[in-house]
Structure 1
Amino acid sequence: MFVGTWAKETPDKLALVSAASGNGVTYREINDRSNQLAQCLYRHGIRRNDRVAMFMENNLRFMEIVWAALRSGLDVVSINRYATLDEVSYILNDSGAKALITSFARRDLAGLIPNQERSARVYLMCDGVVDGWDSYEDALSDNVPLPLTNEWMGRIMSYTSGTTGRPKGVVRREADLRINDPRPDAIHLSRSYRMDENTVYLSPAPLYHGAPIRFARTVQSVGGTVVMMEKFDALESLSLIERYRVTHSQWVPTMFVRMLRLPEPQRKQFDYSSHRIAIHAAAPCPVEVKRSMIDWWGPIIYEYYGATDSAGTSTEIAPDEWLAHPGSVGRAPPTLHICDEQGRELPNGEIGLIYGEANGSIYYWNDPEKTRSAQNPLNPNLMTTGDVGYLDQERYLYLTDRKAFTIISGGVNIYPQAIEDVIIQHSEVADVAVIGVPNDEMGEEAKAVVQLNEGTLPSLAIAKEILSFAGERLAAYMVPKSVDFVDALPRLPTGKLYKKALRDKYWAGRTLTGAVGGALRQVKES
């Protein structure tokens, strides 16, 4: 089922609500407008398997654009609303998008885009226009709200977040389906999390990201309502659960931390009785943070592990199951493998790269070399996203970090995530990143980069206190050698930490030298 089905059955029901304004879009409206946009794109010669790009905040037009592409057999490329002109231009040129749709809110940057790339033939801006752009509203009004003759099902083509380098388009080969055909991934999500027409889904994260856009599509496929926030605010998100009688929500661990830091009277003032399932992913959640959330909200917190560019690696874990296996992200399917650098499968308990059985179903757009580099050296049917972890004897998966972030100090592997999970528990720490910085003797050493709570001032005393706190809870070799303070860490709205930006500051103009440095360079560049 899809929005067209619900436009007939529940035409006046809200499909999408803006939490900030309270305004919404009904199923009749989202169906008619997506049909009009599909007709518009077709009139401009844009055909099945072409790409349409979006550069937009959480806007009430967002999901109708997605549905227009999906019902036209197009790939919809959703670009990070915080991207720079260089990044937007790169994605547009790399994807070869034939249309770009943006909003007046993005006008300062969007006004420069038509001069930066040449692949698009359609530039539409909603809520107003600037030079070089046509009115989205006028374009829709010129077209009838009727479906195309052939409604092939399109795809969401995500670009990786680029936390370690240039983002790359991820293409999943899928069966040929019509828009009315059951979609396997939507069926899986709706069944796993018991979503139906009574679902009210709160999205505190930006819809441009892979997980929120897919969850929103699934909720609207089953006739539910999506409540989107313009940006995350801890207290406001809690109030929305009560105001809209939210049944389902999706979070990242940093959001949990910020909600837990609210004064207890604020946390307890709202009615959460409608809230049945809270889902989290995107980044590993510290055990004590998740345990505290379960103590607060009850056993409603579900976790999954997967990635835009993963296949055969997805896992899920229910709250009761997690309490029996704290720290795990779920039982691994037979298609998940842990391998060493040479591609050999490792026994349970040993840390290695996480591979999934892709069997050619996933590749990187315009980048066969990156596709090959992600494949297992001994078995090209296996692909890795660069995540590192291990399986216990029951095949429960535990993440340790990403390969690119592993610190190799004097030949010893240090996994920053384990250190971050400890330091974030310090009462004065709002956020933390642990990175490897140059050390002439050891190659690298661990440094903690800390964002303190509002009102707490950086000082040598607080730095020593943080290191002492870590030293009481970690093995000596894992304790960072130093602490730096920043006003805010470069964390994406999706919760992912942009560690490359942090590391580049310390490695600028430096090269890895010596035997240790040579070994480290080989690992980092592999």
Structure 2
Amino acid sequence: MELLFPNSANSCPLTTLGFLERAASAYTDCPSIVYNNTTYTWSETHRRCLRLASSLSSVGIERGHVVSVVAPNVPSMYELQFGVPMSGAILNNINTRLDAHTLSVHLQHSEAKLVFVDHLSSSLVLEALSLFPRNMKTPHLVLIDDDDDVTPKSPTLDDFIDTYEGFVEEGDSKFKWVRPKSEWDPMVLNYTSGTTSAPKGVVLSHRGIYMITVNSLIDWAVPHLPVHLWALPIFHANGWSYTWGMAAVGGTNICLRKFDASIIYDLIKKHDVTHMCGAPVVLNMISNSPHFKPLKNPVQIRTAGAPPPAPVLARTESLGFVVSHGYGLTETAGIVVSCASKPEWSKLGDSERARLKARQGVKTTGLTEVDVVDRETGKSVNRDGSSQGEVVLRGASVFLGYFKDQEETSKCIVGGDYDRNGWFYTGDVGVMHPDGYIEIKDRSKDVIISGGENISSTEVESVLYSHPAVNEVAVVARPDKFWGETPCAFVSLKSELTRKPTEKEIIEFCRARLPRYMVPRMVVFTEELPKTSTGKIQKFLLREIAKSVR
């Protein structure tokens, strides 16, 4: 046995790009993409991605260059997830809701050589480029147009080197795509959503993307030929890896430019959708929508991104959705902890079952280890469901590091940096339950410390979500001279109410369900809560508002 070693036949770099070749052979004429009046098959998608990669190479894009994309979930956005890395370039998806300044900072920091721009984002991108320093070269632009009847009309081509379709048509369908030299080669550059601090550039390898993709398919038990509705922005961690995953199983990708509950409902019925993903805010929107009626056929829906309130989970499941809840970060490329449902939970009442399913869960098969530890000592906290610590992870899909920021990388990769026994410290506060399931209680910066007591803002929010008048809620710390901090609740109410509750009534509602120290001292009513493009509530903005509220 000691004479056996890795060899060239068994050491080929892992990459998800080969999934597309397989899809073209195994699911040749099966639909790959459906959008308005456009339908492609897997053989067509394969050829289009090869042509796209070919055109990128012809304009000077080389191995290691960064190519950015600013687009919603239209067919080109899906194709770019394959086409860009097939040219050897590093794919950088950028959310479409950034302001021009932040977008400019991202493009400058990434040193993007080329940017694919959706026509509705063209003015934003051009403004962002105008903010570049005079001595810095701006990237080339390619314009994405589509068959959707949207306004404003497409811009002129003066600022673009080509249109997306022109780019595809000019490419060679027999192009030999650029395979990674090593599976550790960077494949994706994603910027964090910036809910608690300045966005950072997360670099993910071909190996990491491959492992999270296979892991995500197994963990969600995705069958062959599913129909997947893209309610989750692809620019959010590459759609939790299901962009590549759908090719592996020959899925039909139902593309969606804009999220709207009524549109979602119509598309589910029209295309017999079987699977979709979305942040908890999506679940809340669906479960509160008057357009949604109980579904004839169950739809698997996977949620992650923030701890989902148990009342929202219960309402969503009552409509016929089968909710699968997980936990991951931009730095892990997708979901690495999931709430595996136990058979005995089906015998429980709705509220108790929803409470258990709201926990983040256990490690997925592709993650090596997960723990909750004391940050100072590094020791595991008690498995009692109440002792809090920081969630730490290690496994194949953990990122390579932050682009151009070794200092921040070393702060969260602890244990000798890239030591085999190291951990990724997530910054999320959680507990470990006796059954081994973890539960996120807060971001470390979102914990409220009142009179020496740690208050989980998500626990208070879960109670508020059970109020029949509440649409959305966020609880943050408000400075207090005596207690240090006290909870402040920002609440948006349902629009169809005939009578709106008062601040006093909301506080009394909480007082009947929470320990006194956890009850919000102030309730601020607002029409809409500030969010990132992926639906995460920007609590750092609310904390600033809370400081000035009287």
TM-score band by shorter chain is: 0.7 to 0.9
In the TM superposition, residue 372 of structure 1 has moved relative to its aligned partner by 2.1
Alignment partner of 1:388: what SS?
strand
1:365 aligns with 2:403: yes
Segments of 5+ residues of structure 2 without an aligned counterpart are: 1-17, 146-153, 347-352
CA offsets per residue over residues 361-405 of structure 1, 9 Å max, x none? 531111112112224489872222211101112211111111011
Counting only pairs closer than 5 Å after superposition, residues 78-227 of structure 1 correspond to structure 2 as 78-117=93-132, 118=136, 121-127=139-145, 128=154, 129-136=156-163, 137-148=165-176, 150-152=178-180, 155-175=187-207, 183-210=210-237, 212=239, 214-227=241-254
Q: Which has the higher contact order (CA 8 A, sep 6+)?
A: 2
Q: Are the counterparts in 1 of residues 119 and 144 from structure 2 also a CA contact under 8 Å?
A: yes
CA offsets per residue over residues 413-458 of structure 1, 9 Å max, x none? 1111000111011111110010112222322221100111114489
CA offsets per residue over residues 72-122 of structure 1, 9 Å max, x none? 232211001111111111111111221111121112212223333445543
User: 1:340 is matched with which residue?
Assistant: 374
Alignment partner of 1:314: what SS?
strand
User: 2:280 is matched with which residue?
Assistant: 253
Alignment partner of 1:61: what SS?
helix
Moved more, 311-320 or 83-92: 311-320
Aligned partners of 1:418 and 1:404: how far apart in 2? 15
Q: Are the counterparts in 1 of residues 325 and 357 from structure 2 also a CA contact under 8 Å?
A: no
Q: Are the counterparts in 2 of residues 242 and 272 from structure 1 also a CA contact under 8 Å?
A: no
User: 1:16 is matched with which residue?
Assistant: 33
Give the aligned residue type for 2:166. Answer: D
User: 1:411 is matched with which residue?
Assistant: 452
Counting only pairs closer than 5 Å after superposition, residues 272-291 of structure 1 correspond to structure 2 as 272-273=297-298, 275=299, 277-291=300-314
Q: Are the counterparts in 1 of residues 265 and 292 from structure 2 also a CA contact under 8 Å?
A: no
Give the aligned residue type for 2:504. Answer: K
User: 1:180 is matched with which residue?
Assistant: none
In the TM superposition, residue 173 of structure 1 has moved relative to its aligned partner by 4.2
Aligned partners of 1:382 and 1:103: how far apart in 2? 38
Alignment partner of 2:179: what SS?
coil
Alignment partner of 1:504: what SS?
helix
CA offsets per residue over residues 157-207 of structure 1, 9 Å max, x none? 211101112211112345499xxxxx3332222223333441111121222
In the TM superposition, residue 312 of structure 1 has moved relative to its aligned partner by 11
Give the aligned residue type for 2:33. Answer: L
Q: Are the counterparts in 2 of residues 89 and 113 from structure 1 also a CA contact under 8 Å?
A: yes
Aligned partners of 1:132 and 1:113: how far apart in 2? 13
Segments of 5+ residues of structure 1 without an aligned counterpart are: 178-182, 510-526
Aligned partners of 2:541 and 2:32: how far apart in 1? 38
Counting only pairs closer than 5 Å after superposition, residues 482-501 of structure 1 correspond to structure 2 as 482-501=522-541
Aligned partners of 2:542 and 2:47: how far apart in 1? 46
Q: Are the counterparts in 2 of residues 93 and 119 from structure 1 also a CA contact under 8 Å?
A: no
Q: What TM-score comes out, normalization by structure 1 length?
A: 0.86
Q: What TM-score comes out, normalization by structure 2 length?
A: 0.83
Q: Identity rate of aligned residues, in percent? A: 25
CA offsets per residue over residues 263-296 of structure 1, 9 Å max, x none? 5x9513x4225x3x32111111122322343344
Shift in alpha-carbon separation, 1:11–1:354, aligned structure 2, 3 A:
same
Q: Are the counterparts in 1 of residues 304 and 335 from structure 2 also a CA contact under 8 Å?
A: no
